[in-house]
Structure 1
Amino acid sequence: MRKVGETTLILDLASLEHNYNYLRSKIDFETKFLGVVKAFAYGSDMVTIAHKLEQLGADYLAVAYVSEGILLREAGIQLPILVLHPLASNFEDLIEHHLEPSLYSRNILNQFLEAANAKKQKDYPVHIKFNTGLNRLGFSEADVNFIAEETKRNECIKIVSCFSHLAASEDKNERDFSIDQINSFKNLSSNLMDKLGYAPMRHMLNTSGIINYPEAQFEMVRSGIGLYGYGNQAEIDAELKAVATLKTIISQIHEIGANQSVGYNRAFRSSHNIKSATLPIGHADGIGRQYGKGKGVVTINNKKAPILGNVCMDMIMVDVTEIDCKEGDEAIVFGTEKSAEKFASNAGTISYEILTAISQRVKRVVTGA
């Protein structure tokens, strides 16, 4: 792992390839694979990750919003791109850049039909989202006839997939709920296909679903967090490799006497003599205030250094009393040896949040290409 001279997010594409191959090994050869690259590819680098997934043989990509898909198209990505939460105000741009919308309600379907007809489209690829229990986005059983009738009446669109989302695929205590979701989706998709007279692809499994419910892989699976090295289960985490490592350096070391304070609001007060190190990373870089007061811990020279007091906008101060270190030494926030999941869990949150929070001002360096 390269040494850094500033706060840097190191992205290891060899680890991404390992994770992709591991997840692929859990599904049938003919099952298609969709890589989720929304939110700057879970806080990493969307364009770099998308190019690598395209090279590795992924069949589809998914983003949250149209603007993300446009960024990929402008970077030369040719794979089909599913937009998971398109907004009607962006439909003209979506069509112009050959992005594929998830249609999840009668209102959004009608608005897309209007846009597609205005653009004189024929058989434009769309995806139908069913709500089977997550209760976030999606059509219900009562909408199946409407979807089929509108699709048949309008030659401007063609349904290329229908899909749903498991709410608790990583939680074995919720297995009955997940099975109910899968069965509900089977019924909904079969009903739609019967009424359409053709069979779109079906997909429901996320990363944890791929591991725990391979019997429900249908024609395609979707993976987001697993590609970046996290499986929501300790035994799966052990099989994956963290793609992103967040490193920074020690800017200054202070000797703090007894009864002195550190940082804003004097949130840390020493009871004895200690040594603190200031690092150039803060909540403007994605290390939120919830990691302050000892909940966030970085690693310096293979030893733990808890955050002292409140996180500042551009800096944190950590306790290095028991660490042999000097100004310019590296500090690892998370990575291969200490996962983002572990760093996040100390503050009562999850790997998704810390990964996607990393600011775009943090330098990205790509390795393992």
Structure 2
Amino acid sequence: MSKAQETVLEIDLKALEHNFEYLKSKLQKDTKFLAVVKAFAYGSDANEIANYLQDLGVDYFAVAYINEGVALRNAGITKPILVLHPLAVNFKTLIEYCLEPSIYNAKILQEFISVASHEKQVEYPIHIKFNTGLNRLGFWHNDIDFIQNTLSQTKTIKVESIFSHLAASEDLNEKAFTLNQIKTFKIITEKLTKAIGYKPLLHICNTSGILNYPEAHLNMVRSGIGLYGFGNSEKENKNLKPIASLKTIISQIHTIEKGESVGYNRAYIGDSIQKTATLPIGHADGIGRIYGNEKGFVTINGQQAPIIGNVCMDMIMVNITNIDCEEGDEVIIFDANSTAETLAETANTISYELITSISQRVKRIFLQ
């Protein structure tokens, strides 16, 4: 692994493979695996990640929006792609690219049937989403009769899966709530499958559901954050490998006198003679202003250097007073040792937000 000479995001594909195999080892042999690659594969690179996972044998992919699915098709993905939050304006494109919509309310169901009928589709695969407690998207349990009645009046669509989303599967203090979600989902699916007369795929488990609720794996599971190396608990983080390392370099070193300021709005005032380093990465690259003013830190030659002053669009400044370093030296923003989760916690946020914020202008390097 070479030293960074510019700002780069290194993606370790072998770590991705490790995470996939670890999560898959938790499943029964015939349980399908859906890989969630929305949001540019959680900030890495959806096309590269999806193609690698397709070669490893993933059964299904999921994205948030239709344009993400189109990009995957154009990149050579042939496996089924579930669109989790499709919007009706793009339904024709969805059908054109053989994407599969999550149908989450009556309006979307009726609009999709209308478009699919116009496009002369027969038994086009759809996924019915139920709300069991997250209260975000999804039909209610009392919509089953409406769904069955609507389906019985058309040959245009066919239910490929029925699914829901756990709200707190990583929090064992909420185990009773999660178990109730699982119970509710099983009641719903039993009633709906009986009504429609066939058995679609059933899935409710996300990454933490895979790890904490094996009784709810059913015949498919979904994993997003786990594939990228985070298990939502200290215990499971040890079993997974973060796939991304964000690195940059020192562009310039300054010495400031006591009372001198650093950066916009003079947000940092030195209380002594200090050395600072300027790095070519900023909030336009995904390092938000929340990490400024000594909340966040970077690692230089094995030592933590706090971010001082306000994060700029293209630069951050760090305090290197007690660090032996030079201009051009490599700087670690996060990697497998000093993780994105650790950095995110300094600003009271989560790894998901940090890693999905990494701008696409940051160069990606793929390690085999």
Distance in 2 (CA, whole Å) between partners of 1:259 and 1:228 is 43
One-letter amino acid of the structure 2 residue matched with residue 291 of structure 1: Y
Q: Which residue of 2 aligns with 1:342?
A: 342
Q: Which residue of 1 aligns with 2:180?
A: 180
One-letter amino acid of the structure 2 residue matched with residue 2 of structure 1: S
Q: Which residue of 2 aligns with 1:163?
A: 163
Distance in 2 (CA, whole Å) between partners of 1:205 and 1:224 is 11
> What are the equivalent positions in structure 2 for 1:47-86 lying under 5 Å apart?
47-86=47-86
CA offsets, 1:20-49, max 9 Å, x none?
Answer: 000001111110000000000000000000
One-letter amino acid of the structure 1 residue matched with residue 286 of structure 2: G
Distance in 2 (CA, whole Å) between partners of 1:148 and 1:7 is 53
Structure 1, unaligned stretches of length 5 or more? none
**Could you say what secondary structure the match of 2:22 adopts?**
helix
Following superposition, the deviation at residue 148 of structure 1 comes to 1.1
1:148 aligns with 2:183: no
One-letter amino acid of the structure 2 residue matched with residue 133 of structure 1: G
CA offsets, 1:145-197, max 9 Å, x none?
Answer: 11111112110100010000000000010000000000000001111001000
Q: Which residue of 1 aligns with 2:287?
A: 287
Give the 4+ runs in structure 1 shifted more than 3 A: none
> What are the equivalent positions in structure 2 for 1:217-366 lying under 5 Å apart?
217-366=217-366
One-letter amino acid of the structure 2 residue matched with residue 20 of structure 1: F
**Could you say what secondary structure the match of 1:120 adopts?**
coil
Distance in 2 (CA, whole Å) between partners of 1:15 and 1:330 is 22
CA offsets, 1:227-276, max 9 Å, x none?
Answer: 00001101101110011100000000000111111001111101101100
> What are the equivalent positions in structure 2 for 1:203-218 lying under 5 Å apart?
203-218=203-218
Distance in 1 (CA, whole Å) between partners of 2:131 and 2:142 is 11
Distance in 1 (CA, whole Å) between partners of 2:141 and 2:115 is 25
CA offsets, 1:319-369, max 9 Å, x none?
Answer: 11111000000100001111100000000000000000000100000001x
Following superposition, the deviation at residue 2 of structure 1 comes to 2.2
One-letter amino acid of the structure 2 residue matched with residue 287 of structure 1: I
Distance in 1 (CA, whole Å) between partners of 2:182 and 2:115 is 32
CA offsets, 1:124-148, max 9 Å, x none?
Answer: 0000000000000000011101111
Distance in 1 (CA, whole Å) between partners of 2:355 and 2:57 is 25
1:94 aligns with 2:79: no
One-letter amino acid of the structure 2 residue matched with residue 264 of structure 1: Y
Distance in 1 (CA, whole Å) between partners of 2:76 and 2:210 is 29
Structure 2, unaligned stretches of length 5 or more? none
Q: Which residue of 2 aligns with 1:135?
A: 135
Q: Percent identity over the alignment?
A: 59
Distance in 1 (CA, whole Å) between partners of 2:48 and 2:148 is 38
**Could you say what secondary structure the match of 1:188 adopts?**
helix
Q: TM-score, normalised by structure 1?
A: 0.99
Distance in 1 (CA, whole Å) between partners of 2:2 and 2:283 is 24
Question: Which region of structure 1 is more displaced relative to structure 2, 86-95 or 142-151?
Answer: 142-151
One-letter amino acid of the structure 2 residue matched with residue 269 of structure 1: I
Calculate the aligned-residue CA RMSD, in Å: 0.5
One-letter amino acid of the structure 2 residue matched with residue 122 of structure 1: V
One-letter amino acid of the structure 2 residue matched with residue 4 of structure 1: A
Distance in 2 (CA, whole Å) between partners of 1:365 and 1:149 is 51
Following superposition, the deviation at residue 71 of structure 1 comes to 0.2
Q: Which residue of 1 aligns with 2:32?
A: 32
Q: Which residue of 1 aligns with 2:200?
A: 200
Q: Which residue of 2 aligns with 1:6?
A: 6
Number of matched residues?
A: 368
CA offsets, 1:36-75, max 9 Å, x none?
Answer: 0000000000000000110110000000000000000011
Q: Which residue of 2 aligns with 1:120?
A: 120
One-letter amino acid of the structure 1 residue matched with residue 114 of structure 2: E
Distance in 1 (CA, whole Å) between partners of 2:253 and 2:112 is 58
